[in-house]
Amino acid sequence: MLTKKQLQLLEFINTRMQKDGVPPSFDEMKEALDLRSKSGIHRLITALEERGFIRRLAHRARAIEIVKLPESLGGAPSAPVSQGGFTPRVIDGDRPSSPPPSNAFDVEVATAINLPIMGKIAAGVPIEAVSDGAVNVAVPGSMLSGQGNHYALEVKGESMVEAGINHGDIVVIRETSQAKDGDIVVAMVEGYETTLKRYKRMGDRIALEAANPAFETRILPADRVEVQGRLVGLIRSY
């Protein structure tokens, strides 16, 4: 599961290596993806390496080896995942249609739905959410809305503490590209950084507001912010 920017970078590296036999420089990658700094390229390269698409070779300049390609770039289809693995996906939030159990405890168990924890989400400085989906969390069906897909993310940071969202909490997200003022959303910034913030529209700009006075509100052009989901629930372990 690659973001649009990750896929664009992988395609650019592959094209250049097929043409010239060597990978492009970080400056060339930055220019090709229209990013403002090389730090964004470093994050994308790290994400591609963590997902097994590329390998960086030590002690060699510009040494990147492509290990595999997704099907959209001509790679082989993925092999079926065994019982011990997991294919990243989101799960529909509708309640199961099983008959009502006889007591309240059984009702809660019967309506629990396993969602994949798709990585970490920043409640602070934006980071890249890692879509590994290696761990599931059981979510009460009553927490999910009846429409759309849902997934879970682990919160990293303290910028949303006054909204009751702490470091280490698991947030439940309904997948959507739409948001209203005041919604707490998963927002992708400039195509590669992901953060959890309160959304506010300001004409042709978007304000991503923290719920902690120690963190500043970020105001960005609307075309640099992509809403990927809206907060619908929270799970905390003690």
Residues forming the active site:
159, 197
Count CA atoms closer than 13 A to 99's CA, side-chain side: 2
Q: Which amino acid is at 67?
A: V
DSSP line for 85-141? ------EE-PPP-PPPPSSHHHHHHHTEEEEEEEEEEESSS-BPPP----EEEEEEG
Beta strands 184-189 and 193-202: pairing type?
A: antiparallel
Cα maximum dimension of the chain: 68
CA dihedral 132, 135, 137, 138 (to 10 degrees): 120
Secondary structure, 3-state, 136-195: EEEEEHHHCCCCCEEEEEEEECCCCHHHCCCCCCEEEEEECCCCCCCCEEEEEECCCEEE
